[in-house]
Each structure stands twice: as C-alpha cells, then as structure tokens.
Amino acid sequence: MNASFLHILKSKKELIPLVGIVSLAAVGALSFSAYSLFSKSDVIINKSGNPEPWETVDPTKPQKLLTINQKWKPVEELEQVKKLTK
C-alpha cells in the first residue's frame, strides 16, 4: 500500500501539493481538536463525572481573547433556581 502510494506520487508529481495541503489541514484539525479538548472549559468528555462543568468556571477570569470592562455579578433569580433544584 505504502509503496504504491509513493509510486503514484513519483509518477504524478502534480499530486504532491494536493497531498501536502490535505495533510496540513488534517494535522491542523487534529491539533485544534486536542487544544480545545484540553484547554476549553465548554468541552466535556466525561458527563457522568461532572455533568455541569460550567458551574466551576471562574467568573472573574476572562474566557475570551479580548475582554473590555467585564463585570460579573450573580443573577438573583438564577441563584434561587439553583438552590431549589439541588
């Protein structure tokens, strides 16, 4: 399989840029997936361990790349609903 693939690339040199671009796109997609998996708070792998991981996000730490004048305060109605559901 590998030898035939290399043989095709040697005989048809116009496929080399296409293979390079597709490979680069695949590596980029995999690396962004891994980055999101390990660094983003909204990506969940194990829902049974912590079904609501967004509850543990620090509201004082900005989650966006650029945050201007962010002020956070809890919503009273939401806090009451949380107390009632737990």
DSSP state of 54: G
Q: What is the pLDDT of residues 50-80, one digit of tens each?
A: 777 777 777 777 676 666 776 777 788 888 8
Residue ranges of alpha helices (H) inside 1-86 are 2-11, 15-39, 76-85
Which of 59, 63, 61, 62 lies closest to 42, judged by CA? 63
Rounded to whole angstroms, the Cα distance separating 85 from 75 reads 16
Residue 56 CB partners (closer than 8 Å, separation 6+): 41, 50
Q: What is the pLDDT of residues 1-26, one digit of tens each?
A: 577 888 988 898 999 999 999 999 99
Q: Would the pTM count as exceeding 0.75?
A: no
- Averaged pLDDT score across all residues of the chain: 82
